[in-house]
Amino acid sequence: MSRATVSRVVNGVRNVAPGIQEAVREAIARTGYAPNQAARSLVTRRTGAVALVLSATGGSFTARLFSDPFFGRVVDGVLPVLRERAVQPVLLVSESEPARLQLVDYLRRGGADGALVVPLDEDDPLPGMLVAAGLPTVLFGRPRPGVRCGWVDLDNAAGARLAAEHLWAAGRRRPAVVAAPESAPAARERLDGFTAALAARGAVAVPVERGRYTEESGRDAMARLWARDPGIDAVFAANDLMARGACRFLAERGVAVPEAVAVVGFDDSTAARDAAPPLTTVRQPVEEMASAMARLLLARLDAGTPRTGSRLFEPVLVVRESA
């Protein structure tokens, strides 16, 4: 029996007589034969694997990676979609400059058919490098300008609007914002969406201070806001950790949350649930976004077209005790 016939049976194509099929399968099972992926890839130009890249530009981040439940949610969303299509999910971490270069090299050489990238930092060069290498890529979060690839993202402006409307409806008329660094598009949308929604309701200029996503920086930003205007009755923070920082400052000053000042966070991370008081926050459907990301990539691989689709998700306001 020729190799061609075996190949046909293994790949389930063309018409092979049932008897022969049976014999081939039996032989495969008996000998424990496994086709050589390298040889197969050489001709099919497919590896059957897709990379899920967790990338950061800052130093040692495996501690962050394996303690922030966010990544677990991403993985949970991605795995079932790939498994169903018999595509092997491969996790890669890019935590330093040499790691990034090695990783790009690995993928350029054909380590995987495509990449799902979760960048932690806005200035991460990795997505641009992968796209430049011609690798089908889908990002969690919109790419930097000039990088053309698929993405999934949250409608940050809509989320900010939800927060604004909630605070307004609760009678808060002197809100402030603890924003994130200006460079981040998502951060800009959250800020602009919030101020625009309030302006539409006739609110005057909203005081803004910026943090760097950490709890400590949120605390400091809140301190600056308070110094500028102790009449503030609500705070919208660009993420949950900074919202916690704001709460901590207010607690230190003996300001009651939410009675005197209402606080709304963003993300609905576990940090929001575990905060004191539990944070009212804007939720992103991470698992759904992650599985959509996987589906977008698979669709592109199937189609073979150079363009990848994108999808914007709607946020939901989760009301707890802080506002």
Report the interface residues with DNA, using CB under 7 A: 1-8, 10-11, 13-17, 19-20, 33, 35-36, 39-40, 42-44
Taking a C-beta distance cutoff of 8 angstroms, is the pair 50, 115 a contact? yes
For the chain, what is the largest distance between any 2 Cα atoms, rounded to a whole number of angstroms?
86
Q: Smallest gap, in angstroms, from Cβ of residue 299 to a copy of itself? A: 21
Measured from the CB atom, the residue of 87 and 234 that comes closer to DNA is 87
Which of 7, 8, 111, 288 is close enough to bind a copy of itself by CB under 8 A? Answer: 111
Q: Smallest gap, in angstroms, from Cβ of residue 112 to DNA? A: 17
Residues 6+ apart with CB under 8 A from 273: 279, 320
Extract the tokens encoding 160: 């900010």
Please report where in the chains the tokens 């900074």 appear, as a residue.
242
Residue 90 is a binding residue for a copy of itself (CB under 8 A): yes
Residue 36 is a binding residue for a copy of itself (CB under 8 A): yes
Residue 278 is a binding residue for a copy of itself (CB under 8 A): no
Residue 55 is a binding residue for a copy of itself (CB under 8 A): no
Radius of gyration for the alpha carbons in the chain, expressed in angstroms and rounded: 25
Measured from the CB atom, the residue of 16 and 91 that comes closer to a copy of itself is 91
Binding partner selected for residue 20 from DNA, a copy of itself, none, CB under the kind-specific 5 to 8 Å limit: DNA
Residues that bind a copy of itself (CB under 8 A): 32, 34-42, 47-49, 60, 62-63, 65-69, 71-72, 75-76, 79, 83, 86, 88-93, 95, 98-99, 102-103, 105-106, 108-111, 133
